[in-house]
Structure 1
Amino acid sequence: MTRPRWRDAFFLLSPFATVLAVMIAIWIGYGPPTTFYEWTQTIVQLVPAIALLWHRKAPLAILALCAVCAVAMTVSAYTDPQLFIGDVRYDTQFVPLATPFAMGIAFKRIPRSRRMWLCSAVLIVISVRAWAPTFTMFTSGLLFTVFPALFGLYIGNRLSLIEALTERAERAEREQELLAEQARADERVRLAGEMHDVVTHRVSLMVLQAGALRITAPDDATRTAAEELREAGCQALAELRDLVGVLRTHSDSDEEPTDAVRLPDLAELVTESQGVGMTVELIVDGNPLLTAPVVGRTAYRVVQEALTNVRKHAPGAKTRVHVRYGADRVRLTVRNGPPRETIDRELGDSGSGTGLLGLKQRVELVSGRFTSAARPDGGFEVDAILPAFVPTAESHGD
């Protein structure tokens, strides 16, 4: 979660603003600097305060600057007090007013830096006047340097702990998502196995019975019907095998298809529609042999259902089927104009009303995208984008 900008500005400007407020209060009480010594005393305080504006980028440099100023103030106290300090009293601090902020920020951001510890030691020794210790100076020195350092160290450790806990929570959430995805994949495999065992057994019996009927039928009509039934059953078994393969495997394989020659022929489907009086134009771009069987069958079903809907809801309409085979995807568009003949309401209401929904689900099952919408001229358009290859159990050698 990101913090508001005003909070960033507050934490960036507050150290400098605090020191500046103290200096302004001193100026109000004692007057603004006018002499050379008053300006040098102001500069030695103001420069570290201004440097606090860069406390996020250069905490060590600011701490070192405070240490240099503290050394200069200490030397001035015993050589020329008016240069950097002014009137020296028993409780006068020989470190800049920015020191507490510099100490806290350094211990928060770079607690393992050896140079930071060296600069901090210099400031602590000067602040408590280790060469002439008194209770007052020792107490004020601790409050001015050690306590801010401990507070900064606490804040830094607390932020590190919060960051670690946040990362752990995010990692646990990702692991839960992976476990849920694995559970869904296992359930798909189980359902695929059950569907394969149950449906394949029944359809196989139908194919065998149709084959037996074709042999034993007493007349040609019965034999022809039996042969058509057997071929339909064989085709259903092939489609079922592809569908089960999609359910059993993931769609991230990069293997190439090896049996694209078994694609259904869209030209035959269009010819059948033309044979019943429909005006259908088929446009094919690209090489269909580069498409996996399951994708080709899905495309076939999309065109088949779209043409069926045209026959029901737009009789006499001009229809164009445009199929584009690419290196990585197949796009097919079935577009028809407005109906030119009277719509047969009984025929239009004969379906279940879920054909387009079923097509969408079938397309999404192979990681495709399906859209359908009415056109401004009163016609209708079906658009499907399919991946060129979806690995199945068969392509993996199962």
Structure 2
Amino acid sequence: MTDRPRWHRRHWLVVDVAMAAIFVALDTVGTLGGTSWWPAKPDALAWSLLGLQALAVGTLVVRRIAPITVVAVLTAFTLALTLLVSPGGALTPAHGGNVWAPFGTTVAAYGPLFYQRRCDQRARRAALFALAALTLVVMRPWDASVGTMTVGLLRTAVGPLLALYIDARHRLVLALTERAERAEREQHLLARQARAEERARLAGEMHDIVTHRVSLMVLQAGAMQVTATDERTRRAAEELRSSGCQALDELRDLVGILRAEPEGDLSPSVEGIPTLVAESTAVGIPTELVEEGAPALASPVVGRTAYRVVREGLTNVRKHASGARVTVRVDYGETRVRVAVTNTRPSAPPGSGPTAALAGTGSGLGIAQLRQRIEVVHGTLRAGHTPDGGFEVEAILPAYVPTAETVG
């Protein structure tokens, strides 16, 4: 249902290692070039601090895993460097008006708000506190210099602002995508409703036309039976009348089928899944049900489709996997529902055991028909062997599919 992630997302560690190496080189060259805290006459302390700066900036490798830790390390280094300059007096920068924090702080400040945007409020507050501390140390408000404070603020503000912008844009794209998918599903359902109404109209016209003609035949046969003087003719008329009445009954049933709504599905929904699992266990197949999330998140048609997936999966286990253990997992999410029926390697070879007679039954189209039904609601179905020799049927369904039930 989703496109394959881009290269930089699939190889994020390579990207972060390269970015850390670039900023280590940039900060080292920039410091030696006099854009930061490098003294006019470097001593052993200056060279040691240069090495510590490279290590501190190198923590950008883990900026996705531990963004607050990276900010804390760079804050501690910048604070220690500042204290050595003043009031420590152990280091005298050649250009006192420069910002002494490494350029890597800009990238580090991006992480806490972006990579922890889905965390709880406590983690969010910790991220804001870490960014505030970093901003305070980089700006050096106790060293009253408008230029230093302005550049320091910009260096630590660009990252969080960019993170907030990208997060807002990502949410907007997701919302627009979901709206487009929902509009497409609604259009599809409206088309199905129009076809159903046309079917009902044609069925009604066929019923009226054919019923009228067949009724005339039945009446004429009845009149012939009453007026005929020959016994053989009366019997033929009675047979014709009976056939006509039977044709009317069959026509009524056929028209009822044609008039039925495609959505007129009385299959159980997700509340029937525990019953399926219990029935499977009762016939000697160890079956475990694992449910996560709230079943109410699944709309009615999705719930019925999930029920069919479980029923088809358990039926296949009974036919083809004698002695296997089964796990039924249903995950209810806000945007999707995942249903998986997984069985272990069967203990008996195929075609043997008490289920041998079941293996040859059925049309063999269960999975294919199930896939078609799932595709109607814009879901996906995967069925195949697992690495341990078992088999898995997995369906990914949208949590909400609009139908007349949900509109009502």
Residue 102 of structure 1: CA displacement? 1.9
- Tell me the equivalent position of 2:55: 46
1:188 lines up with 2:196 in the alignment: no
Q: Relative to structure 1, is the Cα distance of residues 35 and 215 closer, same or farther in structure 2, using a 3 angstrom cutoff?
A: farther
* Aligned position for 2:280: none
Matched, 1:99 2:105: yes
The equivalent of 2:9 in structure 1 is: 8
Counterpart mapping for 1:170-319 below 5 A: 170-250=181-261, 252-253=265-266
How far 1:254 sits from its partner (Å)?
5.1
**Whole-angstrom distance in 1 between the partners of 2:77 and 2:179:** 43
Contact 2:113 2:160 (8 Å CA) reproduced: yes
Provide the residue aligned with 1:289 in structure 2: none
**Using a 3 Å threshold, how does the CA distance of structure 1 residues 60 and 211 change in structure 2: closer, same or farther?**
farther
Structure 1 residues not aligned, in runs of 5+: 256-325, 332-398
CA contact (8 A) 1:41 1:86 kept: no
Q: Is the contact between residue 95 and residue 123 of structure 1 (CA under 8 Å) also seen in structure 2? A: no
The answer for the alignment partner of 1:334 in structure 2 is: none
Distance 1:236 1:81 in 2: 108
**Cα gap change, 1:73/1:215 in structure 2, threshold over 3 Å: closer, same or farther?**
farther
1:2 alignment partner, SS class: coil
Contact 2:140 2:148 in 1 (8 A): yes
Say if 1:330 and 1:87 are closer, same or farther in 2 by CA, change over 3 A.
closer
Gaps of 5+ in 2: 33-42, 269-357, 364-408
Please give the residue correspondences for 1:130-145 in structure 2 after superposition, counting only pairs within 5 Å. 130-145=141-156
CA distance in 2: counterparts of 1:27 and 1:63, whole angstroms: 19
The structure with the larger Rg is: 1
Inter-partner Cα distance in structure 2 for 1:18 and 1:86 = 30
Matches within 5 A, 1:28-107: 38-39=47-48, 41-50=50-59, 52-78=60-86, 87=93, 89-107=95-113
Q: In the TM superposition, what whole-angstrom CA distance separates every residue of 1:239-290 from its partner, at most 9, and x where no partner exists?
A: 11111111222452259xxxxxxxxxxxxxxxxxxxxxxxxxxxxxxxxxxx
Match of 2:238, as an amino acid? E
Structure 2 CA distance for aligned equivalents of residues 26 and 254 of structure 1: 66
Q: Is the contact between residue 214 and residue 227 of structure 1 (CA under 8 Å) also seen in structure 2?
A: yes
Report the residue type matching 1:253 in the other structure.
L
- 1:53, distance to aligned residue in structure 2 (A): 3.3
Aligned to 1:17: 18
Larger mean Cα displacement after TM superposition, 190-199 or 58-67 = 58-67
Q: What is the aligned partner in structure 2 of residue 342 from structure 1?
A: none
CA deviation after TM superposition for structure 1 residue 330, in Å: 8.3
Supply the AA of the counterpart residue of 1:24.
A
- Alignment TM-score, normalising by the size of structure 2: 0.53
Aligned-partner Cα distance in 1 for 2:200–2:73: 67
Percentage of matched positions with identical amino acids? 41
| Matches of 2:84 and 2:260, distance apart in 1 | 80
Q: Distance in 2 between matches of 1:229 and 1:126?
A: 102
Distance 2:174 2:222 in 1: 70
Q: Does 1:116 align with 2:122?
A: no
In the alignment, residue 135 of structure 2 is paired with which amino acid?
Answer: I
TM-score, normalised to structure 1, is 0.54
SS of structure 2 residue aligned to 1:218:
coil
Counterpart AA for 1:141: G
Amino acid at match of 1:226: A
2:400 corresponds in structure 1 to none
**Partner deviation per Cα, 1:40-89 (whole Å, 9 max, x = no partner):** 54244424533x3343344344334433443333334336677xx88474
